[in-house]
Chains A and B, each alone.
Chain A
Amino acid sequence: MVRCTGSTRWRKHKPPRNDTVLLWMGTSPDSHFKSSAGRIPARLKCLFVVEDAESSVKGLLALVQTFETGPIRQTAGMVIVEETNQPPMQPMHDGSYRHKPLFGIGTTYIVPISAIQGAVHLFPLTPQPDSSPWYLSNAIDLNAFNLFHM
């Protein structure tokens, strides 16, 4: 189960929760996401359903922001991921936004929720709460987590 509350609190008393996930587009790894074997680490920004009654098209969709992935750290065997400050999409001369969005690293776009392979555990390189970058855990490895943070 993954959760996305936007800027609203999770369960009334807890901070907002926008989970990190791995996306799998069913394609071979490209150069950007080779270190994570083609899986794209991303943060959920919104989960929603759209229903076009006229053409009976219904989509369960997720607005996501992808992370930038670094090389695998040999000592830990884990990938380092980082949020990038992307410039907002600019409108065209006529004020519309009708052009192909970027589907690369550090970009925001929409995927069907079937592309979400699962939640992913990121843990920070430093103990600061808002620290970035993070290690992308390649296994459920509590020993490694305790080694770094306990």
Chain B
Amino acid sequence: MFQYRELNANAAKHRHDDDMPLTKAPIKRMMKNPQPEIKTLDDLAEWCAMPKGELQNHIAWCFKSFADFTDYVDQDQYFSRLNDAKYIR
């Protein structure tokens, strides 16, 4: 059986036994060690070894699918703005 969920539940239970908080705060996700040489979509596409247009399309669809920013796919103006956006890797 796939047991990640049970492991998490058991770990939470043990924390409770130790008088630690039962629930943890959501994990704060962040990026570390950004590379200064990546600043544009061209730079990032080269690093990813992927055509620039394909990467731009993936970003637009990510915004639409996961963040409800549909304009990046549906409107040319928004899609083009991904060309001029700032990129940090």
Contact = CB atoms under 8 A, between A and B. Distances in A.
Nearest to A34: B2
Contacts of A116: 29
A127 interface: no
A144 B71 CA distance: 49
B48 A61 contact: no
Nearest to B51: A97
A50 B85 contact: yes
B38 interface: yes
Question: In this complex, which of B55, B57, B60 has the most chain A Cβ atoms within 10 angstroms of its Cβ?
Answer: B57
A138 B88 contact: no
A60 interface: yes
A108 B51 CA distance: 13
Contacts of A100: 61
B31 interface: yes
B3 A110 contact: no
B2 A138 contact: yes
Contacts of B15: none
Given A53-B86, A79-B2, A111 B61 contact: no
Interface of B: 1-5, 7, 29-31, 34, 38, 44, 47-51, 53-63, 65-67, 69, 73, 78-79, 81-82, 84-89
Interface of A: 6-7, 22, 35-37, 39, 45-55, 57, 59-61, 63, 72, 77, 79, 89, 91, 95-101, 103, 108-116, 138-140
The B interface, classified by DSSP as helix, strand, loop or mixed, is helix
B7 A109 contact: no
B2 A97 contact: no
A48 B30 CA distance: 10
A79 B1 CA distance: 9
B39 to A, nearest CB: 11
B45 to A, nearest CB: 10
A23 to B, nearest CB: 11
Contact of A114 (B29, B61, B86): B29
